[in-house]
A and B are shown apart, each in its own frame.
Chain A
Amino acid sequence: MTTARAFNINGQNHIAVVEAHDTLLDVLRDKIHLTGTKRGCDVGDCGACTVLLDGQPVNACLTLAGTVGERRITTIEGLAEDGVLTPLQRSFVEEGGIQCGFCTPGMALAATALIERNADPSDDDIKESLSGNMCRCTGYSGILRSVKRCGNYRSDGTCAKHDHHDGDAPEKSPDNDTVGVSIPRVDAADKVTGRAQYTADIFLPNMAYGKLLGSPLAHGLIKRIDTSKAEALPGVLAVLTGKDVTDTKHGVSPARYDEDVLAKEKVRHVGDPVAAVAAIDERTAERAVSLIEVEYEELPAVLDPMSAIADGAPLVNDRFERNINTHVEQVFGDIEAGFAESHLIREEVFTGNHIYQCPMEPHASISTWDPDGTLVLYTSTQVPHYVQYMMAHVLNIPLGRIRVIRPTVGGGFGGKAATSPLEINSALLSQKIGRPVKMVYTREEMFQYGRGRHKQHMRFKLGVDRDGKIKAFKSEIHLDGGAYSSFGVATAYYAGSMIPTLYHLPAYQYDGYRVMTNKPACGAMRGHGVPQPRFAFECLLGMVADELGIDPVEIRERNAMDPETITVNDLDIGSCEYRATLREVKERSGWAEKYGKLPPGKGIGIGCGGFVSGAGYCIYRGQVQLSHEKGREPFQKKSIFPHANAVVKITEDGTAAVLMIGAAEIGQGSDTVLVQMCAESLGIPASRIRMRSGDSDISPIDLGAYSSRITLMGGHAVSRAGTAVVDAMRPYAADLLDCNEDDIEARDAKMFVRDHPSRCVAWEEVARKYFNENGPLVGTGSYKPPDGLGGDYKGATVGTSPAYSFGSAVCEVTVDLETGKVKIDTFTDYHDCGRAINPKTVHGQVEGAVIMGASETIMEDVMFDEQGKLLNPNLHGYLMMTIKDAPDIFSGIVDSYEPRGPFGAKEIGEGSTLPVLGAVAHAIANATGVWITDLPITPEKIRRAMRAKAATAEDVPAMAT
């Protein structure tokens, strides 16, 4: 039933050919190409598709297009009038309401409906109105602020005075928007108007659509595949199965490439890709996939690491004996002596949970081949270069034949840090049919693809002296890896290597086993490998403190890391203001008045953590080349090529600069801080810089957004490129100003004689002069991590970094003691991130990390049935915090300067997750008297533990102090 229908969208009449099964979302996006309305789940759970119908918010994904009639539809594209942002939109831009931007259109529309009803809404009104809109980035704090303060903004761009977030740098002025200032994100206006294009928003001419068929079984052999029915379906253009594709395996860790493009004989987890289809539209492709008949021989599946390592357990991959994918054995210092000297030894078992990144934007890729044989790949990735590298490997073509375009990315958190089946299969399908092919995951497919946090089974033993000083620590961890290696080798090493960065450990032993199971592969997620061990360690330290009667903050202070220290595992700590973060959270949270003094059901807890500012070594060894062109090179203790590279080109009239760097903006704000650092080094305002970070043809290589590396590494590259430009301009400026070129300084769009700011010339005038006489004014910069990082033992590279961040968080909770329900009330966080390039971006990262971390501590868990099927691959079963669950967060930055970082900066994005889990767990223990050592800390577990405790002790002893 196909009919032409008229829709009244943003005051304009749109005619679209509609089929009965089309939802309003299908029509807006796929037919009218108003792609500001996002598809995040398709079943009402995420709110990304929120539009207004006659002014009322509704979910477009659950609205039948045929029933809309003449009602007025307002989409994000309809908010700003004549290009002028509404006060609410301005507020989102200015108040930090936007990060990846994927939730922003839905949020902005839901909020618009609210403020039209109620111009001065309370916090509770705002939270209620936005409770159906999920955000994975902001922690909702910036969004709440944006709606609350939108009354301060006027559409003419002016702003009434308002309170500033403590710790924010002064308000920007036109001349002061470079380093250290909270300028709004450079992409904010695009994101708040729906103009930002994410991969799925791109429609190329003659484009076809691909879909994957995933295995229904957790473990099985493929006996027969019959694609004839799918091929016969009208509209189907190509079908690929394992036999049609290369035998080259891919993955992340070069020694363990173990993934097939499409399953060859064996499927190893539910959702493992078995076939790929291209068709004229996505719905036909979806249908065709369901017509492919696959006969399997089901094999017994192993679903947890403990049974997977047992003798005789079925093997997920024959390569890995006893399913052990990696075994780490590390001993530092004299562990026996350390325990022998200990006054108190406590050993506990902790269990983590399966966490999934759940970026709000589903993975998407579009492949198209240029006539000269160059693959153009648009993809939602954090690591354009590694994708390029892996595509070259799988397709067996030179890197130079691959152009990766990274459109706006709606969050990653590690979930988009590897090359995905969408990237590879879209390329193969496109090659086969000679048309562009778009592939997008459904929410369920995202869960099946996995790459979330490894669930870790941890046995920890801590020995301390009478004063609580750590003598020895032993950690044994089994990581549940899922069906493929992915990042797992690094994860297993990270789970051990980051523990000694926070406290002085004289002796440390780590035994790690990454074990394969028949579940989606786990990968690198925010804090890579570390959050669960850090949670466990912080809990154990808290238990020990209680046992010794030492205040939990005090025990941390006694063991805290100091600057300029080489850790027991040979990591080189530079700047370190960990103690300052402890002091600040203690003071600001009122710790001394609260700890041990709160009524039952109220609790306060502390947790700490820190992370690398960029991995010291590249994921692959050797130089940039096709990975099987030459054999693997022996490891050298230095970077073979620069990890971050930038080019700055000044426009010929000198009024603007184009910054080219492959650093992936995925919502974390890297475009903005890189622009600020580049501006600082050029001596021009950030507003004169245009960022080009999304196209490998334009920008030189940057390794991408992982291991919290961009601010430090990309920052160095862009500031060096900027400095190179200024250096090139010096002779011309000196000429114009009649001075020595060494005395030239550039600032505020002027070049002047040092100490004589009035002897100046306009920056652009010098640039023009340069161009007139010399041609293009271009500067380049690059960054290599220092040589020689790390020790000489096996795995010593993992955890190395030019610099480390530190942070402390205090959490306060209220627990309903009858039901076990936890309400997280407040968070107080202080961070040592070096010098903050953009404080607002730092706070945004902390706020997002706190909510993500708190959410994973108390509610998130990917669940499987006994056959290995996912039980909750959706956003109503996999629970993440909504705005109504989010606590009030105070984020503070301590004074710090990292000499190895650009302008003194180090990382914030991942490190800020690490203190959270332990702080929440501690606060719950403090409120209930029971430590839950098994994540997530659900109401049910709390009640069970409270019942068990009550049963063992006739009268329940006083709450934990």
Chain B
Amino acid sequence: MYLPDIQLHEADTLEAAAALMEQLGPRAEYVAGGTDLLVDLKTARTEADHLISITNIDQARQLTADSEGLTIGSLVPVGRLNETPLSGTWAAIHDATQVMAAPAIRNMATVGGNLASAVPCADLPPILMVLGGGVDLWSRTGVRRIPVCEFFTGPRTTVRRHDEILLSIHVPPPANRSGASYERFALREGNSIAVASVAARIRLDDAGMMQEAALAIGAVAPTPLLLENIPAILAGRAPNETAWADAADAAVAAADPISDIRGSAEFRRELTGVLTARALRLATERIGGDST
């Protein structure tokens, strides 16, 4: 199994990458870790004449956390993110990074690639959505920030223009009295792909009622999806099983799964409900006294 004829170009700066893209046109693709793109090229799911390797662009390899929030350079390998200590609700990102693929793949796969390939069952989007993440898209005309929940337009399509480079992902600072989690169902323990996944974030007020709530589902709709009606369903209520059941109903209603070799649409809906309750339960459990 070989890669088709391609030309390989390397860019060390955003400018250089964009210049190459402009010059090479629509049959060129950026390549980061290559774990999606090379598989797609080898199996003829995608075609390209030119690959522009962007892995050496330092600007997109930063991983910083400060009072402004968490900034994950798009070229940060998932493995590095997985091993970087994260605080508060950010730590729930590890729920996703540690179940993704396997260590060797994670050493190659980048965070940006996981978003940019826009595979419906990708593991990072749901958790980044509930954490309020935004994607910075760089082009020669400037940077635009798109909320992760508005980034995907369909299976394998996003709002990213062909020339734009995903520069980084920004996650706002964790609010106090909040907890988050990512729950995923897969058919085996190692190196598996999500059949259904749910990310949740809860913030409690001083009275212990839910002040904020967010829920995102993965692998059960054409794109990962942040559920818009969850705040209305949960806000102001006590974090308990009745609330989780209502949220689960809403998630099941929002799911629009397909049937494929990993599971029927019916089973995926059932899983969505179960995982929703679990994710909310775990997110709530994780809310420490007054920790941030």
Contact = CB atoms under 8 A, between A and B. Distances in A.
Question: Are A and B co-members of a single complex?
Answer: yes
Interface of A: 1, 20-23, 26, 42-45, 47, 50, 53, 56-59, 62-64, 66-67, 110, 127-129, 131-133, 282-283, 286, 442-443, 818-819, 821, 823, 859, 863, 871-872, 876-877, 879, 881-885, 938-940, 943-944
B27 interface: no
Given A59-B104, A66-B8, A871-B261, A943 B189 contact: no
Contacts of A877: 261
A884 B35 contact: no
A885 B190 contact: yes
B55 A62 contact: no
A41 to B, nearest CB: 8
Contact of B3 (A21, A282, A443, A819): A21
A818 B103 CA distance: 29
Nearest to B10: A67
B103 A819 contact: no
Contacts of A26: 2
B108 A129 contact: no
Nearest to A129: B103
Contacts of A283: 2
B274 A819 contact: yes
A63 B1 contact: no
Nearest to B274: A818
A343 to B, nearest CB: 40
B88 interface: no
Contacts of B55: 67
Nearest to A26: B2
B51 interface: yes
B101 interface: yes
B271 interface: yes
A23 B3 contact: yes
B188 interface: yes
Given A1-B7, A884-B189, A939-B187, A57 B38 contact: no
A64 B2 contact: no
Contact of A67 (B53, B105, B107, B187): B53
Contacts, number: 132
Given A23-B38, A63-B108, A821-B185, A883 B190 contact: yes
Interface string B249-292: 00000000000010110010011001000000000000000000
A129 B8 CA distance: 31
A862 B35 CA distance: 24
A64 B187 contact: no
A132 B7 contact: no
Given A127-B190, A885-B189, A943-B267, A44 B103 contact: no
A234 to B, nearest CB: 13
Contacts of A59: 35, 104-105, 108
A5 B290 CA distance: 57
B53 A64 contact: yes
B156 interface: no
Interface of B: 1-8, 10, 31, 33-35, 38-39, 42-43, 51, 53, 55, 79, 98, 101-105, 107-108, 185, 187-193, 261, 263-264, 267, 270-271, 274
Contacts of B104: 47, 50, 57-59, 110, 132
Contact of B5 (A21, A819, A884): A21
A127 to B, nearest CB: 7
A62 B101 CA distance: 14
B2 A282 contact: yes
Given A128-B103, A133-B102, 14 more contacts: A1-B8, A43-B42, A64-B53, A129-B103, A131-B190, A132-B105, A132-B190, A823-B189, A859-B188, A863-B261, A871-B261, A872-B261, A882-B191, A940-B267
8 closest A-B pairs by beta carbon, nearest first, are A132-B102, A882-B190, A131-B190, A884-B189, A884-B190, A20-B8, A21-B3, A42-B1
Interface centre among B2, B3, B107, B193, by most chain A C-beta atoms within 10 angstroms, is B2
30 contacts: A1-B8, A20-B7, A20-B8, A23-B3, A43-B1, A44-B101, A47-B102, A57-B107, A58-B104, A59-B35, A59-B105, A63-B34, A64-B51, A67-B8, A67-B10, A127-B190, A129-B103, A131-B103, A132-B104, A286-B2, A442-B1, A443-B1, A823-B189, A863-B261, A882-B188, A884-B189, A938-B187, A939-B267, A940-B267, A943-B270
Nearest to A874: B43
B1 A20 contact: no
Given A819-B271, A940-B264, A132 B51 contact: no
A355 to B, nearest CB: 15
A63 B270 CA distance: 38
Contacts of A50: 104
Contacts of A872: 261
Contact of B39 (A62, A132, A286): A62
A21 B108 contact: no
A131 B2 contact: no
A850 to B, nearest CB: 16
A938 B10 CA distance: 45
Contacts of B261: 863, 871-872, 877
Contacts of A879: 187-188, 192
A54 to B, nearest CB: 10
A223 B261 CA distance: 33
Contact of B263 (A23, A45, A863, A940): A940
Contacts of A443: 1
Contacts of B38: 23, 43, 62, 64
B107 A58 contact: yes
Contacts of B188: 859, 879, 881-882, 884-885
B35 A44 contact: yes
B187 A132 contact: no
A131 B191 contact: yes
A131 B79 CA distance: 14
Nearest to A42: B1
Contacts of A442: 1
Contact of B103 (A45, A57, A64, A938): A57
Contacts of A128: 98, 103
A938 B263 CA distance: 9
A210 to B, nearest CB: 15
Contacts of B53: 64, 66-67
Nearest to A39: B1
Contacts of A56: 79, 107
A867 B190 CA distance: 31
A152 to B, nearest CB: 24
Nearest to A282: B2
A882 B6 CA distance: 34
